[in-house]
């Protein structure tokens, strides 16, 4: 059901004044439209970043397809507007709308945010406010949409607890339909019995319904029924306000990944996006247990799709989109058990069609040797992407990434022999126990690969070492470690550049201020809600974008709200300390994380003794 007046106003009066107006139009190829009068429930998937980022996110396409496959629900999309469009909407008193029907966000039953990156938090407030929805959970009634959120950042939901009604932990495919149906059922029952109230009575109605959801859904976390306790200015514990709500939250989980249909009619954007290609998730989870990695913890257990499912879905997606590239998604694609069979089958089907098969960063293992031989020429031009993370074997044992430099070098040599020209390497700096020799090793590894390229190609290969700043994430063995400070990262970046001797080797370091802000929002507690709101009201928007980032605004706001930055981000926390996210369960639990942290400490001691 199209909101024609709003659409015409936006088209005729607003879009001519903004950059890239096509990103606000909707109506793309494969978009789903339904008459709102013919469905029971209305869901809007809200991505708190720009359209070009959100439309590149595979999970959005998955849930959009899943909910629209049902005749009783309609699912639409909304994205964070760029500042020019936000300002126009405010100036003209027009609401942020869903792309499919131009329906204001406040008119949906449920608004679902995907939390992929902590620096998108201020955009959530922008979308709620522009959509006509009260910012704070306690101000809403049953007339307002249920505001839910899931994704990696939901593993520490506390910083957003003031704004999100319900957090979803674990896999979204089984959880989202259950939440939608139960909310609609409770809302319908209220409407038929007592009627939907406004004001204080309406807020009480909403609280009662949320309590019922919290009791019924083990993967649903409703923060209003859990109150943090602070002692001596530091988070101490989380207390339940109702004894019937669960003490801990269990993740939703898909047992049979192959039984969950892939989106074979993904929406094709009008505008160029970060990833203009078909995305196919081949497996979920990772067989490895790297101590720094949050994803390998929260996405357990490992689950696979069949080769036939992947190839058939990729072919149907190609026919429905015309994209000339297919990307195979997973945390560790080369650990897919039938990797060679899969690549050979995809190449057989898609090479005659001129379609490129691409892979994300690869694990350095035996499969690496076959990648160089199997992939087609287009992929070779884009380069080989590997994630050694660190460059020395002893540090690699400490982070629990079990690969060998010899395997990496042999894989690169084989790649050069088979026509590859470029290599991109992902590293981290600032890991626990990092030494100067670990930084030396990053440059040495990159330059060794460049020289191997010269031996095979006749000239130095182009090698990029992309170095991120380590942020200790919740639910990892390193969650008790403090993050290195600004001065250390600044020194480390300058030192890496000073060690470079080959021009074809490039060192790219992640912005320090961005990493520090990520550390604040991923490691903080509920007190950060006031920081997020205050920073947003001062003008923080699209913080993940270099051209919009205002880190100095955030540091000023953090100081004004009396958040101890050293305590929140840089302090080493004892194992016995309760953490703000402890109530969110992960597979194997906190005991496993403590055991792994203790092992890491022992290995660090051994490394220091060996120096």
pLDDT tens sequence across 502-527: 999 999 999 999 999 999 999 999 99
Average pLDDT for 151-173: 97
* pLDDT higher than threshold 70 for residue 151: yes
More confident residue, 274 or 450: 450
Pairing of strands 283-284, 303-304: antiparallel
Average pLDDT for 581-604: 91
The token duo for 458 is 């006749």
Tell me how far apart the alpha carbons of residues 225 and 238 are, in angstroms, rounded to a whole number: 10
pLDDT, tens digit, for every residue of 357-400? 888 767 666 666 666 666 655 555 568 888 999 999 899 999 99
More confident residue, 306 or 360: 306
User: Which pLDDT belongs to residue 177?
Assistant: 98
Give the HSE-up count for residue 105: Cα atoms under 13 Å, Cβ half-sphere: 29
When pLDDT is cut at 50, 70 and 90, the band that residue 417 belongs to is: confident
How far is C-alpha 583 from the chain's CA centre? 21
Which residues, at least 6 apart from 188, have a Cβ–Cβ distance to it below 8 Å? none
C-alpha distances in Å from residue 75, one per residue of 34, 94, 111, 450: 9, 22, 10, 49
Domains of the chain (ranges plus CATH)?
4-240 (3.40.50.280), 257-527+563-610 (3.80.30.20)
When pLDDT is cut at 50, 70 and 90, the band that residue 6 belongs to is: very high
User: Which pLDDT belongs to residue 459?
Assistant: 87
When pLDDT is cut at 50, 70 and 90, the band that residue 572 belongs to is: very high
User: Which pLDDT belongs to residue 369?
Assistant: 63
- Over 307-344, what HEC string results? HHHHHHHHHHHHHHHCCCEEEEECCCHHHCCCHHHHHH
User: Which pLDDT belongs to residue 363?
Assistant: 67
Average pLDDT for 278-284: 95
User: Which pLDDT belongs to residue 380?
Assistant: 53
Number of Cβ atoms within 10 Å of the Cβ of 256: 8
More confident residue, 361 or 138: 138
């Amino acid at each position: 059901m199209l909101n024609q007046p709003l659409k015409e106003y936006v088209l005729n009066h607003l879009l001519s004044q903004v950059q890239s107006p096509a990103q606000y139009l909707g109506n793309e190829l494969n978009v789903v439209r339904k008459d709102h009068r013919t469905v029971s429930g209305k869901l809007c998937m809200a991505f708190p970043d720009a359209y070009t980022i959100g439309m590149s996110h595979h999970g959005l396409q998955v849930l959009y397809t899943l909910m629209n496959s049902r005749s009783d629900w309609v699912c639409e999309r909304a994205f964070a507007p760029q500042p020019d469009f936000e300002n126009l909407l405010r100036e003209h008193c027009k609401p942020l709308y869903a792309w499919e029907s131009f329906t204001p966000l406040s008119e949906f039953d449920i608004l679902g945010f995907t939390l992929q990156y902590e620096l998108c938090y201020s955009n959530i407030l922008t979308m709620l406010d522009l959509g006509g929805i009260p910012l704070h959970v306690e101000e809403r009634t049953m007339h307002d949409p249920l505001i839910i959120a899931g994704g990696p950042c939901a593993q520490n939901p506390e910083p957003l607890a003031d704004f999100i009604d319900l957090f979803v932990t674990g896999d979204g495919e089984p959880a989202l339909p259950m939440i939608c149906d139960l909310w609609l059922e409770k809302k319908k029952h209220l409407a038929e019995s007592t009627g939907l109230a406004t004001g204080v009575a309406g807020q009480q109605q909403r609280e009662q319904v949320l309590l019922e959801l919290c009791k019924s859904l083990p993967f649903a976390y409703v923060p209003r029924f859990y109150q943090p306790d602070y002692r001596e200015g530091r988070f101490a514990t989380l207390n339940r306000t109702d004894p019937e709500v669960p003490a801990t939250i269990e993740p939703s989980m898909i047992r049979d990944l192959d039984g969950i249909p892939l989106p074979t009619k993904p929406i094709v954007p009008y505008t160029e996006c970060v990833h203009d290609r078909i995305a196919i998730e081949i497996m979920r989870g990772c067989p490895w247990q790297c101590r720094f990695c949050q994803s390998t913890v929260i996405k357990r257990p490992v689950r696979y799709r069949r080769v036939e499912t992947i190839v058939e879905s990729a072919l149907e997606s190609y026919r429905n989109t015309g994209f000339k590239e297919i990307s195979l998604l997973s945390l560790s694609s080369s650990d897919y058990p039938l990797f060679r069979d899969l690549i050979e089958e995809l190449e057989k089907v898609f090479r005659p069609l001129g379609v490129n098969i691409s892979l994300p960063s690869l694990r350095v293992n035996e499969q690496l040797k076959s990648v160089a031989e199997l992939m087609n020429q287009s992929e070779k031009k884009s380069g080989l992407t590997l994630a050694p993370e660190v460059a020395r074997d002893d540090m690699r044992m400490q982070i629990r990434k079990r690969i060998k430099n010899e395997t990496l070098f042999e894989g690169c040599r084989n790649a050069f022999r088979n026509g590859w020209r470029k290599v991109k390497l992902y590293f981290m700096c600032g890991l626990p126990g990092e030494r100067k020799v670990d930084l030396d090793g990053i440059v040495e590894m990159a330059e060794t690969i460049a020289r191997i390229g010269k031996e095979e190609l006749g000239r130095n290969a182009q090698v990029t070492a992309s170095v991120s700043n380590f942020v200790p994430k919740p639910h990892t063995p390193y969650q008790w470690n403090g993050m290195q400070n600004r001065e250390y990262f600044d020194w480390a970046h300058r030192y890496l550049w000073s060690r470079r001797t080959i021009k074809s080797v490039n060192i790219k370091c992640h912005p320090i201020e961005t990493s520090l802000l990520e550390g604040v929002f991923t490691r903080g507690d509920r007190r950060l809600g006031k920081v997020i709101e205050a920073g947003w009201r001062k003008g923080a928007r699209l913080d993940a974008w270099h051209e919009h980032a205002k880190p100095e605004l955030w540091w000023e706001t953090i100081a004004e709200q009396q958040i101890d930055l050293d305590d929140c981000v840089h302090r080493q926390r004892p194992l016995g300390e309760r953490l703000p996210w402890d109530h969110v369960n992960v597979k194997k639990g906190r005991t496993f994380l403590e055991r792994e942290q203790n092992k890491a400490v022992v290995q660090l001691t051994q490394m220091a003794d060996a120096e």
